[in-house]
A = this chain, B = another copy of it.
């Protein structure tokens, strides 16, 4: 009689054989391909899927779901592999569904300020394609992530303070659910009260309820005027306070990003920014000529009142792009400062009134534990990121690093915040969901069990039933 492990192996073998028939050489079982699809950029241990399917259509994804459902084999959706909490790893094996080749921009409707793309289109690809229309899509996580992956993880980025996150900017989704049905969650109306909000249920579900294959998104007109610049502050508290006042005054700032002294040093080294070594806010204003001038003047007054230095303009487009590329490269810049060490990169988010306190206490704890840990933050949203560098061979340091993450998350929760503002749960934040959601976690589990009773959709993540 076959053992459970043997039975599992047999079903997987059969599923892989059937899928090979359907996909040909777009189903790979090569070790290198499987390994690359099981491991993300971070400290989370990778586990390889049994095979990787490079899909071309919603129909192919549906076929995979039917086969995997028949054999009880896990499905792990894969965009660009840039998620940060172990979302894409395959702890129970299964088929990694790589959507990168689904990269068609299906429609752009300039009149309605919306578009529809396949899930593998990346944010930069979309914006390059949109250039001639005068429109853009603002959500910008650090990586050039796929829009399907960004929807699945409820991503945001530096523009969220003005334009919202994927939660606000996904108009509708096409997804293959665990039962193999293809669901289109909504039409193109800007708003609707017609039933449960399946769009928002799938946004942030990290592949545990279905595989997102198409995304309809809101677009925005490229502003007539964009003003950007940097402002130095004597300490993190004063930068946070300037941020709080800017938001409270209702200045429609498009970006307001904190980089602490360590991150400025890293950015100077990596991107040759030449900034004075103290905490900075990077800012951007969008609007008419008059509007951006007015906004930056108002901000200048606030900054001065908070002890900040002069607001230094980035007047040329190239200068501005260089600045924001440096901000987006902050993960790599910091990694560059600590070659050979492992980086634990994660985020929390708190009500903005608690931001200065939360960042300061976190920095203090970093110092006490002796870690190099630069902090960057989408501070207009109360969201900040930290990277901690450690040597995985050093057990005590590794333990302290993990304790530190626990401590920051509990601090954020005690301030009525959340264990993750934009990175998502994956494996890394699962243990905090009970503390954050209480009875709500059981509701999430009931939804997961109802929609995926065989638990084939990215099993072992988020609510792990």
Contact = CB atoms under 8 A, between A and B. Distances in A.
Contacts of A193: 153-155, 204, 418, 420-425
A160, A167, A383: residue with the most chain B Cβ atoms closer than 10 Å: A167
Given A167-B197, A187-B418, 4 more contacts: A189-B351, A192-B349, A196-B204, A196-B448
Contacts of A353: 109, 111-112
Interface in A123-178: 153-156, 160, 164-165, 167-168, 177
Contacts of A209: 196
B440 A185 contact: yes
A447 B110 contact: no
Interface string A187-200: 11111111111101
Interface string A430-465: 001100111111111011111100000000001100
29 contacts: A114-B351, A154-B197, A181-B439, A181-B442, A184-B440, A185-B440, A187-B351, A187-B416, A187-B417, A187-B436, A188-B351, A189-B349, A190-B383, A192-B418, A192-B420, A193-B204, A193-B423, A193-B424, A194-B420, A194-B433, A194-B436, A195-B204, A195-B425, A195-B437, A195-B441, A198-B443, A288-B294, A290-B290, A447-B450
Interface stretch (A88-96, A244-252, A271-279, A332-340): A244-252
A381 interface: yes
A350 interface: yes
Contacts of A192: 154, 349, 418, 420-421
A301 interface: no
